[in-house]
Amino acid sequence: MRKVGKYEVGRTIGEGTFAKVKFAINTETSEFLAMKVLDKDTVLRNKMVEQIKREISIMKMIRHPNVVRLHEVLASRAKIYIVLEFVSGGELLDTIAHKGRLSEGHSRRYFQQLIDAVAYCHSKGISHRDLKPENLLLDAKGNLKVSDFGLSALPHQEDGLLHTTCGTPNYVAPEVLDNNGYDGAVADIWSCGVILFVLMAGYLPFNEADLKTLYEKIQHASFLCPAWFSPGAKSLILKMLDPNTRTRITLEGIYNHPWFKKNYVPARLSDAEEASDLDDVESVFDNSEERFVDDQLVKESGPSMMNAFELITLSQGLNLSALFDRRQDHVKRQTCFTSNIPANEIISRMEGAAQSMGFRVETRKYKMRLEGRGGGKINQHLAVAIEVFEMAPSVFMIEVRKAMGDTLEYHKFYKTFCDRMKDVTSKMPTLGIDRGKQLAP
């Protein structure tokens, strides 16, 4: 457990190449939050200072119900802490992977919320540039939240265009690949079109074995809509996945499209928009001692204890039944199971299971990191993080989460991993949990 100013910082709930996202609690208000933690030396070594400043500045400008909110930014001598809204429902891609594809009604609702968020960002001059289901989260009520503005940008060239080729290959617009400059807002519309296709089809419109073939398909918009797409949905998707930027549908055209307008409820924005205070953007790299936040690590000899606050957040709506479901039929990017086998034996058995699957295993106390090569068509690298927590005497929770790589490949990994861990999960204790009662902290 770590204390950062007024925040208690707990388990890792996500991670990327240069940052980890931790669960946190505001000790003054008891509010659940997410805290993105970056190492200053890593940021400086990789020349990411301007990128981090831009990401923080852009997120401070955005106050929309369908965008993850940034609360504040703190810094210690060695770390940068970005305090964000905690979104408990997981990735939208988890829902797609579980159900295969979504109904047209559900797809439309998520798409409407996505377009509202994107339109708001564009009204501020902000292009996201990495829109994909992995960056779309769901809150406890099932509302969509756009996250990860690490690649977002404001036009800064004399021609008003962006020139950096970035984004995720399957979702990137053809003009981004041309190296002739592009309008980030127009490129975002293409990505939204790919997302709508994935929601309704359950698979990608462009998904080839190698990048050269993939890019050729994207350049020519070479794809087919499934037979179950309604004429209205197909019409809108074709207008969004138009490789010609001059004829590609605009946001105004999307809002006026009959398919989009059905059951549309606009997002409710706050009447009074807060002014963005950007002073702390510069201060995170200011080495003045008086600006540093107190940062204390509370050492624990055994597995970390899972407190009631964190336990509550592991299941949407305080229904914890999924935590103790032996079937494990709904895999999320972060999934948990329990056991009453001693913690050291759990670690040993997981090491053996992971190594038998061809993963490289690194273990530190009660945390593990597995690294291997995923079997996806683009052969993306897959990394998995595992941690053992103590929930009660002789009752342990094992949390497995994707650290890097393709989410669908992670789902395949998890199914196989659980099959090889049956002797551990079969020894789960029976815990009496009254679903009708809220757990008290």
For residue 185, give the nearest of 207, 154, 146, 225 by alpha carbon. Answer: 154
Contacts of 260 (CB under 8 A, 6+ apart): 108, 111, 112, 115, 236, 254
Contacts of 126 (CB under 8 A, 6+ apart): 58, 61, 62, 149, 152, 153, 154
Helix (H, G, I), strand (E, B) or coil at 178: coil
Placement of tokens 């089809």 in the chain: 201
Residue 40 near residue 259, CB atoms below 8 Å: no
Instruction: For residues 31 and 85, give the distance between their C-alpha atoms in angstroms, rounded to a whole number.
Output: 9
Instruction: For residues 352 and 367, give the distance between their C-alpha atoms in angstroms, rounded to a whole number.
Output: 15
For residue 151, give the nearest of 67, 52, 240, 66 by alpha carbon. Answer: 52
Catalytic residue among 116, 130, 139, 188: 130
Residues in a beta bridge with 364 = 367
Residue 12 near residue 366, CB atoms below 8 Å: no
Based on the residue annotation, tell me whether 130 is a catalytic residue of this protein.
yes
Contacts of 93 (CB under 8 A, 6+ apart): 133, 134, 136, 333, 407, 408
Instruction: List, in sequence order, the alpha helices (H) in 62-183.
Output: 92-99, 104-123
Catalytic residues: 130
